Amino acid sequence: MDSNAIAALSAPKYKGELHAFTVGYEGRPECDERDKAKSIAKEFGLPFHEIEITTDGFVNSLPELVNHCDDPIADIAAYGYFSVMKEARRNNVPVMLTGFGGDELFWGYPWVVEAMIENANKLSLLGDSPQARARLAKELTFYERHYDFKTAEQTLPMLYTSSFMADIPPQNSFKPFRIDEPYNSLPVRICRALFDTWLVSNCIALGDRLSMASSVELRLPLLDYKLVELVMGLRKTYTTDYALGPKGWLREAVRNILPEQIVNLPKKGFTPPVQQWISAAIKRYGYLLKNSYLVDNQILDPDKLQQLLAQP
């Protein structure tokens, strides 16, 4: 919905020719949303470009993709963004608009809503005691609600050497969320934690690097500071919009400019056939890990690594 809203708002205002780009996957699995994207582009009179990305294409492009990411950003959606930006450049489109920020600003992730509810419940149990609230203020429940984060925490001992594990401080992963300021404006605090971590280090960094790899400028309308200030300002007063469902405020704001089926469409985003891609990548490049820097410096345990690579 984020990108569709941007298209709907931009198309009538833009004096040039606004193009629409989307990706799909070989075999058109359930996560392929090309047909929906095409119908929106047709409704607003936008030239439509679709890119079908394949497992072989992902595997062949992986070294180049990793190089352009610069940091080890393990977002499976990266190849989709990378492919879209390449196609934009091939079509002489030097600037792209994207919906980055919609999920972060408007409660688009179920696990963030769960974290918000859990923290709100904790706060309600404390009553008005400043001392109790001050103790709780130092740590938010946050990434603990994210399945991938919890899985990663549990997987560490399966990969790292015992000496490297011993060097990791207790609760190291949660350290960014130990907060000393007063425990007020809880929805704002939860959003701020998401902005300062996932949004900045993954979404924005990834989008910028993969667009510039094709000399395309990426712009993020939903992260315009005026919009962010408006939403966060409202959230200080209307503190329960997270209970309206994913992107409740945004859905209502665009309900009159987008088809109803798009407004009510569940979030999917770039959701490729993950297991197929990862298995193919390990088959092609897994051997590189066996004698890698991480093994030589006793970070990854070679025996544990071998067991992992041997899994189907």
What is the reported pLDDT for 185? 80
Q: Which tens digit of pLDDT belongs to each residue from 74-91?
A: 888 999 999 999 999 999
Q: Does pLDDT of 71 surpass 80? A: yes
The 10s digit of each residue's pLDDT in 165-199 is 888 876 655 555 555 455 568 898 889 889 988 99
Question: CA 28, CA 157: separation in Å to the nearest integer?
Answer: 37
Mean pLDDT, rounded, for 160-168: 90
pLDDT (average), residues 270-294? 87
| CA atoms of 9 and 44, how far apart (whole Å) | 10
pLDDT, one tens digit per residue, over 264-276 is: 877 665 567 888 8
Q: Is the pLDDT of residue 6 over 80?
A: yes
The whole-number pLDDT of residue 137 equals 58
**Fold category of 2-103+204-272 in CATH:** Rossmann fold (3.40.50)
Which residue would you say has higher pLDDT here, 310 or 254? 254
What digits encode the pLDDT tens for the residues 212-256? 999 999 999 999 999 999 999 999 888 899 999 999 999 999 999
Which region among 7-16, 65-74, 133-142 has the lowest average model confidence (pLDDT)?
133-142
pLDDT attached to residue 259? 84
What are the domain boundaries of the chain?
A: 2-103+204-272
Q: Find the range with the poorest average confidence among 6-10, 272-276, 291-295.
A: 272-276
Residue 135 has pLDDT above 80, yes or no: no
Quickly list H helices, the chain: 2-10, 34-43, 55-69, 78-90, 102-105, 110-126, 130-137, 147-155, 162-167, 186-194, 205-212, 225-237, 248-254, 260-263, 274-285, 287-290, 293-296, 302-310
Determine the average pLDDT of the residues in 62-83.
Answer: 92
Residue 45 — pLDDT band, cuts 50, 70, 90? very high
Query: Is the separation of the CB atoms in 99 and 5 below 8 Å?
Result: yes
Q: Which residues fall within 8 angstroms of residue 149, CB to CB, at 6 or more apart? A: 143, 173
Whether pLDDT at 141 is above 90: no
Mean pLDDT score across all residues of the chain: 87
